[in-house]
Amino acid sequence: MQIKKGTYRLEKRGLNFNLSDELNFNNSANCFYLRGGNGFGKTSFLEKIIIPALKENKVPYLYIGQDIRTQLYTLRSLLAVQGIKVFDHDEVELLKLWINHSRSATVFILDEFDKYFPDHGFIFDWSNAFIRTYIMVTHLGYGQSEAVAAKYRTCNVKFDLIDFDGHIRNISIKKE
Amino acid sequence: MVVLKLGIILVLILSFFWLFVFGPFYDHIATQLVVLIGVIGWNMLRFSLRETISLLKFCFPFVFTLFLFGLIFHFTRLLGRQDWLEDTFIKCIVFPSSLVFLKVLLSYITYLDILNLPISMKKRVDLITIKSAFSKGEKILRRFSWYLNTYSGLESGSNIKYRLKKYACLMIALYLYLYEEIENSNRLLRNRYQHLHEANK
């Protein structure tokens, strides 16, 4: 599955992305780090461009959003409906259960997960047996994402603001 | 003034239920349809088209289930009744219209109204907590639904099975959220009030 280079407009969110390089999620053992300032549309790009493309191509994926505290309610209810006991599980145990029950996924998307769990390496330990591609939005420095670097080829994708006319922000997205 | 405002709202709610839910216009299908269209229009003016569509989508599974049971009762001629279909149809209109009516009318009660009520602070805090939790709950539903759409684990089986499981998840998540939210907000409000009270002393 790939996101072709070109222009992607999200008018409701006031964003206009100019993707200079194709993002190819077909190769295995890749980890894409999406970096850029606040308000540059990283989450919107994930939720409105990447995730719909994964759905359209029927690529099974896991997504942990930036508002993980909100998402945890849905994870708890999802596991409960699937007949898994979750009553006395804390959030980390809940995530582990969910990941263990989602072994058909090949892509794992994490939006600023490291903000909530600075020791986020555990997420790779639990999932690297079946995940081929990680896509991570991060604000961490380049050298600080070592948890995955040893096993996966790293690809940094940079979001930069080109201009803002008061309504639309033009954002360039480039591989580094 | 606030007592008068809340009194009018209460009278309107009671009148609505007396006239259209339990009273003389219950089985007037044309009137019920006009009321439904009216309250949907009111909701659109008060909030937005998007919010109204999302509210109707929320009602849909309940209305659908109601209709399904009505259909089963009709074909099995439950209790020998012949009017199951007509009665179900009315209920399918009354349920969303009363829900939307309540929601719109209650939205006119502000936090300031609650603070100005001549009741104890404990009761005010409880009312504020409930109002805050439900307005947050309403906003969070869309996000819950979005997350549930990303879980491929739900998608096994038929489309109906998927939708039923999704709505079950949505209800459980909302219940868990409201439960925690009410508890946390209540604790926070009481704590702040207590400190303010002590500081004023």
User: Pick the residue with more confidence: A73 or B26?
Assistant: A73
* Shared domain check, B129 and B101: no
A91-106: pLDDT as tens digits: 899 999 999 999 889 9
The answer to whether position B115 is within a domain reads no
Last-in-domain residue among B106, B136, B163: B106
Would you kindly state where each structural domain of chain A is located, as residue ranges?
A: 29-157
Whether residue B6 is found in the same domain as residue B30: yes
Cβ–Cβ below 8 Å for A73 and B177: yes
Report if residue B113 sits inside a domain: no
Q: Which of A67, A74, A105 is facing B148, going by the closest CB pair? A: A74
Tell me: do B6 and B58 sit in the same domain: yes
A60 touches chain B (CB under 8 A): yes
How would residue A146 be classed by pLDDT, with cut points 50, 70 and 90? low
The CATH homologous superfamily of the domain defined by A29-157? P-loop containing nucleotide triphosphate hydrolases (3.40.50.300)
- Quote the tokens at residue B64: 């659908």
Please state the rounded mean pLDDT for residues A65-73: 92
In whole angstroms, what is the distance from residue B150 CA to residue B101 CA? Answer: 33
Residue B14 shares a structural domain with residue B98: yes
pLDDT along chain B (201 residues), means of 10: 89 91 86 93 91 84 85 82 84 91 90 88 86 79 90 78 87 89 84 82 72
Note the pTM of the prediction, 2 decimals: 0.76
pLDDT, greater one: B201 or A19: A19
* CB-CB under 8 Å, A101 with B177: no
Note whether A63 contacts B: Cβ–Cβ < 8 A.
yes
Q: Which of A46, A66, A73 to mutate to test the interface with B (most CBs of B within 10 A)?
A: A73
Give the count of domains, chain B: 2
B53 lies in a domain? yes
User: Phi and psi for B110 in degrees, rounded to 5?
Assistant: -100, 170
Predicted confidence at residue B135, as pLDDT, reads 77
Residue range of the domain that includes B172: 120-200
| Long-range CB pairs of A163-171, under 8 A, 24+ apart, other chains included | A167/A14, A168/A11, A168/A14, A168/A15, A168/A16, A169/A14, A169/A15, A169/A16, A169/A39, A169/A40, A169/A41, A170/A16, A170/A18, A171/A15, A171/A16, A171/A17, A171/A18, A171/A36, A171/A40, A171/A41
ipTM topping 0.85? yes
Instruction: State whether B7 and B101 are in the same domain.
Output: yes
For residues B66 and B9, membership in a common domain is answered with yes
Domain co-membership, B101 together with B158: no
CA A26 to chain centre: 16
> Which of B81, B106, B131 is at the close of a domain?
B106
List chain B residues with CB under 8 Å of A50: none
Q: Are residues B34 and B85 in the same domain?
A: yes
Asked if the C-beta of B156 comes within 8 angstroms of chain A's C-beta atoms, the answer is: no
Of B77, B106, B135, the one marking the end of a domain is B106
